[in-house]
Structure 1
Amino acid sequence: MVNNLSEKSKENVEYMIEEIKQKLNVINIGAIKPSHFNEEMYEELKDIYELVKKKNTFSPSEMQAIVEELGNLRK
Structure 2
Amino acid sequence: MDLSVNSRDNIEYMIERIKDKLQIVNAGALNAKSFDTEQYEELRDIYEMIQKKQSFSVSELDAIVSELGRLRK
TM-score by length of 1: 0.96
Hey, which bits of structure 1, 4+ residues long, moved more than 6 A? none
Give the SS at the match of 1:58. coil
Q: What is the aligned-residue identity percentage?
A: 56
Give the alignment partner of residue 29 of structure 2, picking from 23, 28, 31: 31
* Alpha-carbon offset, residue 73 of structure 1: 0.2
**In the TM superposition, what are the counterparts of 1:17-56 in structure 2 within 5 Å?**
17-56=15-54
**Unaligned 5+ runs, structure 2:** none
1:13-70 Cα offsets, whole Å, 9 max, x none, are 0000000000000011110000000110000000000000000000011001000000
Quote the residue 2:55 is aligned against: 57
Aligned length: 73
TM-score by length of 2: 0.98
Q: CA RMSD in A?
A: 0.4
**Counterparts of 2:6 and 2:64, CA distance in 1:** 21
**Counterparts of 2:33 and 2:24, CA distance in 1:** 17
**Unaligned 5+ runs, structure 1:** none
